[in-house]
Structure 1
């Protein structure tokens, strides 16, 4: 199975040296308002229609607004053989230092 990180522990977890990709599953407008530093935006619906947009050469950390879409994405990509990490509860509860706004 894959790892799930509570959003409240994300800063500490990232500081331990995560070296994969960070995937933001929210809409482009939500991503532009704020996102985790280094995150790439792949809206959930688009990614579910075209999972080949992501390769499996690196681990993938998924997050969304509330936690449900990241869980579904992790289930799909894990079954396809990807190394994935789920961020539980979603970005709406995040108050850490890795948040950026544009």
Structure 2
């Protein structure tokens, strides 16, 4: 099972519709604290076990990094853990912040 790519406008539409998806941010703690997509949670090696334990396999998961590169490896790994619908956000948080400066939570 592999991951899919998700673009910023699609994620924006999902959030506007209230679509149930788990947003995970794999950036470092400082970057996450300075700003992240509302509703996202930081995911690292320490918290991934709990995340997998409480996330239904069928829930869409969107992985966010800085520019959409390292999120691809993380998304592929999560898909390999049995999650059925995993996305890597193209452009990452950097692109999101550029397009939606009003939709950033600190």
Question: TM-score range with shorter-chain normalisation?
Answer: 0.7 to 0.9
- SS of the aligned residue for 1:62 comes to strand
TM-score when normalising by structure 2: 0.75
Per the alignment, residue 71 of structure 2 pairs with 70
Within 5 Å, give how 1:86-101 maps onto structure 2.
86-94=88-96, 95-96=99-100, 97-101=102-106
* TM-score (ref. length: structure 1): 0.78
3-state SS of the aligned residue for 2:70?
Answer: helix
Secondary structure, aligned partner of 1:61: strand
What is the Cα-based RMSD across aligned positions, in Å?
Answer: 2.1
Structure 1's unaligned 5+ residue stretches are none
Question: Which structure is higher in strand share?
Answer: 1
